[in-house]
């Protein structure tokens, strides 16, 4: 049972990383919009964290699959597939010359992803608390209130 708590703690820290990457990208786009940053600097900063975010989300999705958390895997799969399609079509990086043209769309995309990661954060915290509680109680008293994720 202690392994379950450790696993959910790993999911928790991975989710924190995804939220941090996403907030960093949103702040860079807001700084660009407010003219605190030039387009080259903003796009280079965002492009530096896009691929690590995609990799971290893919690893999180894969860990959900490998550990048998099917509902959580299916919950994270659409974003992973969308990230993979963006990467394969080479549309994952922000172009310096057209950054202002797609600024609102990029902000909306990242805000929607941030909302998704925050919902995932709440679910992971809930499962982490349940796993920690279950690791301290006997096998007969295990709480099964969250069997569906």
Domain chopping of the chain, boundaries: 2-136
- 52-108: per-residue pLDDT in tens? 999 999 999 999 999 999 999 999 999 999 999 999 999 999 999 888 999 999 999
pTM, two decimals, is 0.89
- Residues sharing a CB contact under 8 Å with residue 28, sequence separation 6 or more, in sequence order: 37, 42, 45, 46
> pLDDT of 25-47, one tens digit each?
999 999 999 989 999 999 999 99
HEC sequence for the chain: CHHHHHHHHHHHHHHHHHHHHHHHHHHHHHHHHCCCCCHHHHHHHHHHHHHHHHHHHHHHHHHHHHCCCHHHHHHHHHHHHHHHHHHHCCCCCCCCCCCCCCHHHHHHHHHHHHHHHHHHHHHHHHHHHHHHHHHHCCHHHCCCCCCCC
* Predicted local confidence at residue 139, as pLDDT: 66
Which among 149, 138, 148 has a CA at the least distance from the CA of 1? Answer: 138
pLDDT of residue 143: 61
Least confident of 6-15, 23-32, 61-70, 134-143: 134-143
Do the beta carbons of residue 46 and residue 94 sit within 8 Å?
yes
């Amino acid at each position: 049972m202690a392994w379950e708590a450790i696993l959910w703690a790993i999911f928790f820290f991975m989710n924190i990383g995804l939220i941090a990457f996403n907030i960093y990208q949103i702040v860079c786009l807001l700084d660009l919009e407010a003219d605190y940053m030039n387009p080259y600097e903003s796009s280079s900063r965002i492009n530096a964290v896009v691929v690590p975010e995609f990799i971290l989300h893919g690893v999180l999705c894969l860990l959900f699959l490998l550990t048998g958390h099917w509902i959580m895997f299916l919950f994270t799969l659409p974003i992973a597939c969308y990230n993979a399609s963006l990467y394969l079509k080479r549309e994952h990086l922000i172009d310096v010359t057209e950054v202002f043209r797609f600024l609102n769309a990029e902000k909306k995309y990242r805000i929607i992803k941030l909302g998704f990661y925050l919902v995932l954060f709440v679910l992971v915290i809930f499962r982490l608390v349940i796993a920690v509680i279950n690791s301290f109680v006997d096998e007969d008293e295990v709480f099964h209130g969250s069997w569906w994720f």
